[in-house]
Amino acid sequence: MKNIEMKVEGEKLIITVDLSKEYGLSSSGKSITIASTEGNVSVPGHEQIKVGANIYRPRPQNGR
């Protein structure tokens, strides 16, 4: 995972992402990746529950 922390408190999943970080362009080149689970991953302590997340922002368009 890139820039994603997950923890379970009681019955709630808490996902933490540092929005100040960037990891370069997405595979399509249309957005800038901030965080990713890089596919589906299990919730800590709940292996049958899966999470898949991508956090991104649009790539600035030059001259538009």
| Domain boundaries defined on the chain | 4-58
List 9's β-bridge partners, or say none. Answer: 12
- 2 CB contacts (<8 Å, ≥6 apart)? 23, 33, 35, 36, 38
With cut-offs at 50, 70 and 90, classify the pLDDT of residue 41: very high
According to the model, what pLDDT value does residue 43 have? 97
Phi, psi of 36 (to 5 degrees): -160, 145
Question: What is residue 44's predicted lDDT score, i.e. its pLDDT?
Answer: 95
Q: Average of pLDDT values for 26-40? A: 93
pLDDT at 36: 96
**DSSP single-letter state for residue 25:** B
Structure tokens at 1: 């995972």
Tell me the average pLDDT across 30-54: 96
pLDDT reading at 27 higher than 90 = no
The half-sphere exposure of 18 on its side-chain side, counting CA atoms within 13 A, is 7
